[in-house]
Amino acid sequence: AQNTFSEMMECVFDAQNLISISLRKIQSSRTQRGGIKLHKNLLVTYVLRNARQFYMSKNLSQTQRTHHYEDVSAVRERQDYFELTGSLTELGDDFYCNFTGVESDTWHCGAHQPNGQPAEVPHQDASACAMLSPSDSDLMVSEACWSCADKSSWELPILNAQANQKTVLDLDTHVVTTVTNGYFHSDCCAQSKQPQGAQCYTKKRKMDTSYHIVDPEFYLPDFGPVPFKRMRTDEDLHSDSDQLDSTNISNLISVLGSGGLSEFVSWQQTDLEQIFAAQTICLKHTLLTGSGWTRAIEAF
Amino acid sequence: INPGLVGITEWFLIVLRIADIISTVEFNHTGELLATGDKGGRVVIFQQEIENKNLPQFRSEYNVYSTFQSHEPEFDYLKSLEIEEKINKIRWLPQKNAAQFLLSTNDKTIKLWKISERDKRPEGYNLKEEDGRYKDPNTITSLRVPVLIPMDLMVEASPRRVFANAHTYHINSISVNSDDETYLSADDLRINLWHLEITDRSFNIVDIKPANMEELTEVITAAEFHPHQCNTFVYSSSKGTLRLCDMRASALCDKHSKLFEEPEDPSNRSFFSEIISSISDVKFSHNGRYMMTRDYLSVKIWDLNMENRPVETYQVHEYLRSKLCSLYENDCIFDKFECCWNGNDSVVMTGSYNNFFRMFDRGQRRDVTLEASRENSKPMQVLKPRKVCAGGKRKKDEISVDSLDFNKKILHTAWHPQDNIIAVATTNNLYIFQDKVN
């Protein structure tokens, strides 16, 4: 059972790594000569979405196990099928890479072994991976680990990640945290710091930190609202709406599009207050000790 | 068509030229001229030595015919955006008179260039002094008509038209219509139709830009006119679809006449499925009955009469499927490989990594991997087929996947329209190979 858990964890790490790499690509594309390549950035968002979909499904299975958070049941409401051809607006959940610093040296899910053959792991169904109750098994029809033969895992819905979950990549500490409805909770990766989990990651890969210089104003405007420059308190929530100056926002980076094209930044059409309200996060102060939010990438 | 044009044959090097990073390669309609465009905005044209063409043991030569700066870097101040001078595509016009014409394009501007020869010059004016100053007209007492005298051949390139300001996004394709009057240009979201004589306006014939850019799901990746039907063109998308459009149907060809799409194989699903299904090139066959598409791992041949799947699929480098994550990280997965047909549509060719390029013989169901490298391309030495070892025990002379050099990529190849002569561009070199005539 531990092997399957570690294989699954590896898959999740692959997804996380892909997410951080993808964000890095989008960021660096802004400074490329010739302007932002629309095609390439669009493809990168597909990888982001695929990885995030996978990651969220795995992450959710972990949160169900912990039973620490009141919002879990709300999060498990069935969502509409998140089609891969969905709009970028649907990606508008704030999404943060989860990167605890425990690296995996393999990019591939456990299924992709160096010799090209799928890993021989016991078939994992949803109940084995996620310890779901049978009534929930229809939500995770087949677990999303690549080793499963049933690749219809791609049909997995995003389980109400939209309104409730945010993930933040802190560029200083490279800590990624997931926030759900204001509750900061460490995700499955942090749990793996337990001895039994750490055994899986004996090989470390040198982490590339060269890309983590980001203007605090940085964000991906098409995918999410204004980033949090600092830890938010309740008082801040109410004053933030004033900060959403559309002029400032339109001056901020337009990630996709032929470089600097205002037509691609559709903020003018967006109800800023509506977005802001949907993305309200109230972070528990105690859970954020030592973590600076000054430089954070908020994706989507 | 050369009757010797069967199968894949054996190849040897005839020209090797160091160049700036080559970004496009194109033979003209007779194959006599080969144009290359590079990252620095320059066009270099080679001309085939055709004196001894009909002799046995014929060995072509391609010599530099003309070199000119087509595009310069520009800066769009309004958008605070630099426009690269890199030549994305060159397309030749069919020859109508003594001069040659080609279209070259960078990301934003298309130019029509006239390449003409001058081998005579006028002499005998009596209007100027020796030092070039004009004489006082009162001192000229006789009328002298200058005569044309031979001179060393000079090839001049002059820009005849500049087609600008019609594309918001990056131009990826141009294609000359068989009517010899119009051409299309395609960027990520739109396709415009131009008349070769008119530069101040173009017709928009395809527009896939959504009303809300946040709903963008695909872009146009390539477009081409049908070789014979002047009303028909095709464009490919980042989602792996082909759309055949008929300009007679409506002014705006947003509705396709035919949609060519192969259902995805669910067992191959990965994080990168969308990327590797994106079509990087589309080419009609010379006979107009087929289309060929190139995506990251394969080449597909489509019959214009069958929309639901390709009639042939060739794996270019399937061994890369398990490496997609690394290839994503180093950006190689975004490489846009081109593909081309030989003169009688029996063989198709495309590039790969490690300076490999691949040929697929459709009739004989054979394929070969060749390498364009200095070490392996001695003059008059036939290229040796290469083999990549995807797994298991590596045989002698095989190359393992892990030792492939992904910096050495062949994105651009071209096949002479009539002869077995191919042009292959590595990063910094242009290779021209000819088949071995027995």
pLDDT tens digit sequence for B207-222: 999 999 889 999 999 9
Cβ distance A269 to B219 less than 8 Å, yes or no, reads no
Task: Locate the chain A residue with the closest alpha carbon to B276.
Answer: A43
Q: What is the pLDDT of residue A230?
A: 40
DSSP B329-386: HTTGGG----EEE-TTSSEEEEE-BTTEEEEEETTTTEEEEEE--STT--TTPBPPP-
pLDDT of residue B377: 77
> Does the pLDDT of residue B122 top 60, yes or no?
yes
Query: For residue B58, what pLDDT band results from cuts at 50, 70 and 90?
Result: low
Distance (Å, rounded) from C-alpha B352 to C-alpha B337?
A: 8
CB contact (8 A) between residue B86 and residue A43: no
CB-CB under 8 Å, A39 with B278: yes
- Identify which of B214, B221, B266 has the shortest CB distance to residue A151: B266
Q: Tokens 């060519």 correspond to what residue?
A: B260
Q: A8-28 pLDDT, tens per residue? A: 666 677 888 899 999 999 989
ipTM: 0.90
Query: What per-residue confidence (pLDDT) applies to A61?
Result: 65
The closest alpha carbon to B37, from B53, B50, B48, B21, belongs to B21
Q: How high is the pLDDT of residue A128?
A: 32
Nearest residue of B to residue A29, measured between CA atoms? B331
Minimal CA separation from A284 to chain B, in Å: 32
- Residue B382 has what pLDDT? 87
CB contact under 8 A, A88 and B215: yes
pTM for the full model? 0.69
Question: Where does residue B48 rank: exposed (0-12), middle (13-18), buried (19+ CB within 10 A)?
Answer: buried
* Residues A147-162, mean pLDDT to the nearest whole number: 35
CB contact under 8 A, B83 and A35: yes
* pLDDT at A240 exceeding the cut of 80: no
R_g (Cα) of chain B, nearest Å: 24
Distance CA A260, CA A253 (A): 7
**A43 to chain B: which residues are within 8 Å by CB?**
238, 274-275, 278, 334
Q: What pLDDT is recorded for position A56?
A: 81
- Tell me the per-residue pLDDT of B375-433, one tens digit each, with 9 for 90 and over: 877 877 888 899 999 877 788 889 999 999 999 999 999 999 999 999 999 998 999 99
> Tokens for A140?
């995770």
